[in-house]
Amino acid sequence: MGGFDDFKPVVAMFGLQFTYAALSLLARASLLQGLSPRVFVVYRQAAATLFISPVAFLWRKSHRTPLGLKSFSLIFLASLIGVAISQNIYFEGMYLASSSMASATGNLVPATTFLLATALGMEKVNVRSLRSIAKILGTAICVCGAIVMALLRGPKLLNAEFHLLANSIFASEGDSWLLGCVLLIGSACCWSIWLILQVPMSASHPDHLSLSAWMCFISTIQCAVITFFLEQDPEAWKIDSKLGIATILYAGIVGSGISFFVQSWCISQRGPLFSAMFNPLATVIVTISAAIFLHEEIYTGSLAGAIGVVAGLYLVLWGKAKDLVEINEETEPKLQIDYDHTVKPAVDEKLSSCKCDLSKPLLSDVSADETNPV
C-alpha cells in the first residue's frame, strides 16, 4: 500500500479538526442566540443515540458481547463524568468565555491524563530519563499556560492600550470570563477521568461500538435529569431557531457519531499519539474563525497562555513518542544468518500480532471528538 493511502489518516485528521472547529463555532453562535447549554447537551446526546443505536444494534447481531453488572456500572460512571458533567460545564464555560478559549483548554487533556495515570501507577516516571523529564515539564507548562489564559487577559491585539490585570479580571465581563475558564479546565479534567475509565471499561466490555451506544443513551437520561433540576425556564426546551436545530443535529450526528468512527479508524491505522498531535490545529482554526465570524476579541494574555498550552502538549507527546521508540526497539526483528550465508530477519510471533486493535484501551494520549468533548 502506498501513494494516497499513506496520507488518508492525515487527511482524515485534518478534516476531523475542521469538524470540531465548526462544532465549536456553531455551538457558540447558538448559545449566544439564547440556546440553553444544558438543553443543548440533552438534545445532542439524544441525536447521537438515535444515530448510533441502529448501527450498534446491527453490529451486535454478528458480534454478541454480554453486558454484565460491572460493565454497566463502569459505563454509567463514565457517562456521568465524561459526558453529562463534562459537556454541561464545557458548554457553560464556552458561553461564559469564548469558543477559542474552549478549544484551547481542550489541549490540557493529555497533560491532565498523564498526571492521573501517573498517580494511579499506569504511567511510569523515571527522573533520570529525558523522556520522563519532558513529560513532567510539558505537563507543568500546560498547567501554567491554562492559568495564564484564565487570569491574565492583558491588552487586546492590535490595540496599544494596556489593561492592568485587575481591570481585566474585575471588569464587567471579567467574573464571567474567569468562571468560564474554570469550568472549561474542569471539563478537561473530567474528560481525562473518562479516558482513565476506558482501561477497566474496555477490559470488561471490549465492544467499543456498543459502549458508545450505551454511553450516548445513558448520558441522555443523565443530562435530562440534570437539566430538569437546573433549568428553571420551561421555555428553554423549545428550539425555535433553525441554527439551534442545525447545531444539535450536527453535534449529535457528525460531532458524536461520525467523528467516533473516523477517530477510531485513524487510531487503528497510526495509533493514539498520531491522533493527539492534531489537537492544537482545531485551536488555531477556531481562534481565527471566531475572530472573523463571531467577532470574538483576542487578548495577548490569552494568546500567550494558549501558546504555552500547545508547547507543553507537544513536549508531553514528544516524551510519549520516546516511549514508542523504545518499545519498537525492543520488538524490532533481529537478523540471523542462515546456513546458506544469506541474511534474513527473524520474525517474532509478537510482531505479527502487534497491531493496534480497537478492543484495547485507547488511553495513551487522547484524541479531539474524544480529546474535545465537543
Q: What's the pTM? A: 0.72
- Distance, CA of 225 to CA of 358 (rounded, Å): 32
Residue (of 285, 291, 283) closest to 156 by Cα position? 291
Question: Among the listed ranges 65-74, 162-171, 257-266, 276-285, which one has the minimum average pLDDT value?
Answer: 162-171
The predicted pLDDT at position 84 comes to: 92
The predicted pLDDT at position 60 comes to: 66
350 — pLDDT class (breaks 50, 70, 90): very low
The predicted pLDDT at position 109 comes to: 79
The predicted pLDDT at position 169 comes to: 38
- Distance, CA of 187 to CA of 83 (rounded, Å): 9
The predicted pLDDT at position 273 comes to: 55
The pLDDT tens digits of the residues spanning 200-247 come to: 887 787 776 788 888 889 999 999 999 999 888 888 898 888 999 999
The predicted pLDDT at position 167 comes to: 41
| Cα 13–Cα 15–Cα 18 angle in degrees, nearest 5 | 110
Question: Among the listed ranges 61-70, 102-111, 152-161, which one has the minimum average pLDDT value?
Answer: 152-161
Question: Among the listed ranges 2-16, 91-105, 112-126, 322-336, which one has the minimum average pLDDT value?
Answer: 322-336
Provide mean pLDDT across the span 37-62. 85
Question: Among the listed ranges 65-74, 138-147, 255-264, which one has the minimum average pLDDT value?
Answer: 255-264
The chain-wide mean pLDDT, for the chain, equals: 75
Residue (of 20, 18, 124) closest to 371 by Cα position? 20
- Distance, CA of 247 to CA of 199 (rounded, Å): 32
The pLDDT tens digits of the residues spanning 64-104 come to: 666 778 888 998 998 999 889 999 999 999 888 888 788 88
Residue scoring higher pLDDT (48 or 309): 48
Cβ density class 223-236: b for 16+ within 10 Å, e for less: bbebbeeebeeeeb
pLDDT at 143 over 50: yes
Q: Give percent of the chain with pLDDT exceeding 90.
A: 16
105 — pLDDT class (breaks 50, 70, 90): confident
The predicted pLDDT at position 63 comes to: 60
Provide mean pLDDT across the span 275-300. 76
The predicted pLDDT at position 221 comes to: 95
248 — pLDDT class (breaks 50, 70, 90): very high
The predicted pLDDT at position 280 comes to: 74
C-alpha cell at 71: 460493565
C-alpha cell at 260: 467516533
| Cα 18–Cα 20–Cα 26 angle in degrees, nearest 5 | 100
